[in-house]
A and B are shown apart, each in its own frame.
Chain A
Amino acid sequence: MRIKQVSVFVENECGRLEAILEALQREKINIRALSVSETAEFGIVRMILDNPEEGIQALRQAGFTTRIDWMLSAQIPDVPGGLLNSVARPMAQAGINIKYFYAYIEQVGENKAMVVFKPDDLEKAEEVLASR
């Protein structure tokens, strides 16, 4: 399923993540998933929010540089090989590269997990997931 991700540019310094989270809390926006990719100097904070449009407004208001991108989310069984069989292998077999991915905290029932990922070909990856 397609899902919107909000990403934020942030310097790799004390208190910056706090500033992002405060901006979201002020507008009562909830974070469903979060991942940080970083260098020594800066980081990219990627988030799935319950309200991405309002979230991005709140972050911009707080002075952050942000963007919204379409991602794919998939429900996977919480068992050994779950991620491999439901996402990684089908994508590899279809020749789709996953640029990055992270887990998604969502109550989806017993023994299930959610992942969110960015394929290099969104439409094709969506078809691969749907055909399963």
Chain B
Amino acid sequence: MIRDPEHETMPRGELEKLQLERLKVKVREVYDKVPFYRRAFRENGVTPDDIQNLADLTKLPFTSKLDFRDNYPYGLMAVSPDQVVRIHSSSGTTGKPVIAPYTQRDVDTWSEIMARTLATCGTTKDDVLQNAYGYGLFTGGLGFHYGAERLGALVIPTSSGNTKRQVLLLQDLGTTVITCTPSYALILHETASEMGIDLRDSNLRLGILGAEPWSEQMRRDIEERLGILAINVYGLTEVIGPGVSVECPNKCGMHIAEDHFLVEVIDPETGEQLPYGGEGELVITTLTKEAQPVIRFRTRDITSIDPEPCECGRRMARMSRIAGRSDDMLIVRGVNVFPSQIESVLLNVEGVEPHYLIVVDRQHVFKSDELEIWVEVSEKVFSDEMQKMEDLEKRLRSEMDSVLGISARIKLVEAKTVARSEGKAIRVVDRSEL
């Protein structure tokens, strides 16, 4: 069901008019209220008056994750602290976390975006939604919670973890929609199986999965194991949290909430804007955020944008599944490798478990890099004959070679060797961390 036809089916021309209107207001706002932006605009010789059409966006400087750290905690805020009603934060990998403040209107806007997001993938007020995204500073938990409540669904706020209880509640309360990371969906399945429960026999019909990059093969795997429709959802703390984009059941790209987010795709090397369809780094400008608007935020996520209307009736542009983060991209012997490519090779081999770990040797600057992929041996692929085990290893190695263009070592490891994550899965580690 289209919850907000006015915006979701708006003709492109009208939408762009709305975007420009909102952009002008935001640019003026950050220039007047946030010293960081005023300084950055001046350094680039641009003022709010220079923004006369959407193409003028490229005159504005980029904002990066680094700017959030440098201005920690409140340096990017555009309102006085007494207007802020909530703080979220993303788990910083190194150094300071990213702080995301919200005004009451931001919370309301976000709740509505999330209600629309949930409706887009087919959730209705009659659904029982079990929210296994982590509650707390992470935007996933409360973001989905507020959206589901606004939609009128029944929310079970399990948060992540305590998987046996999750399975129990899922069964007893008749959960129809699960919201969690894709890796947690697999943990749920694994735990349910250990408890002798087949989730395909439950009421569960839909999974809204995100917060980490995953592959099309992983989707098929999750859909088959849990007996659900698995939908991809995207967002990030710096601009709002989940809700930036989501798939409809047609699964043909994620519909971007373009009335709230102005998106571009750039060449990550040169910073040049790419035409529609070009694959590059996603850049987001928030159009409605009050407490902390963001101008041209470089997400590091690699995607492409398709502006054609979708069969579902929505006209907002769609972005492709995140191919990987430019941060996560590995450069092995001069070749770019994304963990998602490795995942798709593994899951294309019958019986191979979606639990894997990529071990890289980044320590030796002058030595050629080594790529080792740990693959868990499940009962489906285990054989008592050495020949067959060696064949599996060889097959994985040769398929990895042909897809990645470089050779990788395959290490067959025991089940559960790869740490299970209740939040975002860790797929790449440096050998020195082992």
Residues of chain A having any CB pair with chain B under 8 Å: 5, 7, 9-11, 16, 37, 39, 41-42, 44, 46, 63-67, 69, 99-100, 118
Asked if B382 CB lies within 8 Å of chain A CBs, one says: yes
Determine whether the beta carbon of B384 is less than 8 Å from that of A5: yes
10 shortest interchain CB distances as A-B pairs: A7-B384, A9-B377, A37-B386, A65-B415, A65-B382, A9-B382, A65-B377, A69-B384, A42-B412, A11-B414
Minimum C-beta distance from B125 to chain A (A): 42
Which residues from A are CB-within-8-Å of B385?
44, 99-100, 118
In the complex, what's the smallest C-beta–C-beta distance from A127 to chain B, in angstroms?
22
Specify which chain A residues have a CB less than 8 angstroms from the CB of B384 in the assembled complex: 5, 7, 44, 46, 67, 69, 118
Question: Complex: how many Å from CA A107 to CA B238?
Answer: 72
Check if B413 is an interface residue, CB within 8 A of chain A: yes
A67 and B412: CB pair below 8 A?
Answer: no
With a cutoff of 8 Å between Cβ atoms, the chain A residues found around residue B377 in the complex are 9, 42, 65
Contacts of B387 in A (CB 8 A): 99
Contacts of A67 in B (CB 8 A): 379, 382-384
The answer to the question of B389 belonging to the interface, with a C-beta cut-off of 8 Å to chain A, is yes
Complex CA gap A41/B384 in Å reads 16
Is the Cβ of B414 less than 8 Å from the Cβ of A64? yes
Contact of B415 among A41, A64, A100, A118 (CB under 8 A): A64
**Hey, which bits of chain B sit against chain A, CB under 8 A?**
377-379, 382-387, 389-390, 411-417
Majority secondary structure of chain B interface residues (helix, strand, loop or mixed): loop
Q: Quick one: which of B390, B411, B414 contacts A9, CB cutoff 8 A? A: B414
Q: What residues on B are CB-neighbors of A118 within 8 Å?
A: 384-385
The residue of chain B having its C-beta at the shortest distance from the C-beta of A41 within the complex is B411
**Distance in Å from the Cβ of B390 to the closest Cβ of chain A?**
7
A-B contact pairs, 28 of them (CB 8 A): A5-B384, A7-B382, A7-B384, A9-B382, A9-B412, A10-B414, A11-B413, A11-B414, A11-B417, A39-B390, A41-B412, A42-B412, A42-B413, A44-B384, A44-B389, A46-B384, A63-B415, A64-B414, A64-B415, A65-B377, A65-B415, A66-B382, A67-B382, A69-B384, A99-B385, A100-B386, A118-B384, A118-B385
Specify the chain A residue showing the minimal Cβ separation from B414: A11
- CB proximity of A113 to chain B, nearest CB, Å: 22
With A9-B377, A9-B382, A46-B384 already in contact, the answer to whether A65 and B414 are too (CB < 8 A) is yes
Question: Across the two chains, which residue of chain B brings its CB closest to A71?
Answer: B384
A51 to chain B, nearest CB (A): 18
Q: In the assembled complex, how far is the CB of residue A1 from the closest CB belonging to chain B, in whole angstroms?
A: 19
Docked CA distance A46–B413 (Å): 17
Complex formed: what's the CA distance from A64 to B382 in Å?
11
User: Across the interface, which residues of A come within 8 angstroms of B414, CB to CB?
Assistant: 9-11, 16, 63-65
Q: How far is the CB of B376 from chain A (nearest CB, A)?
A: 8
The answer to whether A65 and B378 have CB atoms under 8 Å apart is: yes
In whole angstroms, what is the CA distance A74 to B293 when docked?
78
- Contacts A9-B412, A42-B377, A67-B384 aside, 17 further interface pairs with beta carbons under 8 A come to A5-B384, A7-B382, A7-B384, A9-B414, A9-B415, A10-B414, A39-B386, A39-B390, A41-B412, A42-B389, A44-B383, A63-B414, A63-B416, A65-B415, A67-B382, A99-B385, A118-B385
- Bound: A64/B377 CA distance, A: 10
Contacts of B413 in A (CB 8 A): 11, 42
CA distance in complex: A43, B68 (Å): 49
- Report the separation of the CA atoms of residues A10 and B415 in the bound assembly, to the nearest whole angstrom: 9
CB-CB under 8 A from B382, the residues of chain A are 7, 9, 65-67
Q: In the complex, how many angstroms separate the beta carbon of B153 from the nearest chain A beta carbon?
A: 37
B207 to chain A, nearest CB (A): 26
Name the residue on B nearest A63 (C-beta). Answer: B416
Whether the Cβ atoms of B379 and A65 lie closer than 8 Å is yes
CA distance A65 to B412 in the complex (A): 12
Which residues of chain B are within 8 angstroms of A10 by Cβ–Cβ distance? Answer: 414
A37 to B385, CA, bound (A): 9
Give the shortest distance, in Å, between A64 (CB) and chain B (any CB): 7
Closest chain-B Cβ to A21's Cβ sits at a distance in Å of 16
| Shortest Cβ distance from residue B250 to the other chain A in the assembled complex, whole angstroms | 38
List of B residues within 8 angstroms of A16 by Cβ = 414
Q: Do A66 and B386 form a contact, CB below 8 Å, given A10-B414, A41-B412?
A: no
Closest to B411 in A: A41
| Cβ–Cβ < 8 Å partners of B378 in chain A | 65
Which residues of A have CB within 8 Å of B383?
A: 44, 67
Q: Which residue of B lies closest to A6 (CB)?
A: B384
Chain A residues near B389 (CB, 8 Å)? 9, 42, 44
Nearest Cβ distance between residue B379 and chain A, in whole angstroms?
6
Give the complex CA separation of A63 and B379 in angstroms. 11
Residues of chain B with a CB closer than 8 A to A44's CB: 383-386, 389
Q: How far is the CA of A9 from the CA of B414 in the complex (A)?
A: 7
